[in-house]
Amino acid sequence: QVQLVESGGGLVQPGGSLRLSCAASGSIYNIYVRGWYRQAPGKQRELVATITSGGSTNIADSVKGRFTISRDSAKNTVYLQMNNLKPEDTAVYYCNAYSSRLSTTYWGQGTQVTVSS
């Protein structure tokens, strides 16, 4: 089993920045796609960004140019750097990880990001 723990959420003013972290522990396998999703009140959970074990990234159009995803493989940690935050970015942000070897998706507990003046 893999456990994912997010941190770094909180309150920020429009135009500000936050960095979210997601540390993985447990039974770690090498073949993974890791990502960030978010869910705002009254909306479906949506994909924000993904990163593969090879380092390839995909960023949602809604945050492209403002958010970046990265990882520190030695620490089994993935990051979401969020710049120029807007009120519409307010949501619960969830980290996930996918093992192609096990065909299993893991989810973190979520962390609240609130962008407000």
Query: Is the pLDDT score of 99 beyond 90?
Result: no
**Among the listed ranges 27-41, 43-57, 60-74, 86-100, which one has the minimum average pLDDT value?**
27-41
DSSP state letter for 104: E
pLDDT, averaged across the chain:
94
**Section 39-60 average pLDDT:** 95
pLDDT in tens, 54-93: 899 999 999 999 999 999 988 999 999 999 999 999 999 9
**Section 16-37 average pLDDT:** 88
Half-sphere exposure for 117 (CA within 13 Å, toward CB): 4
The residues with which 7 forms a beta bridge, in sequence order, are 21
DSSP 2-58: EEEEEE--EEE-TT--EEEEEEEEES--S-EEEEEEEE-TTS--EEEEEEETT--EE
Residues 6+ apart with CB under 8 A from 101: 29, 30, 31
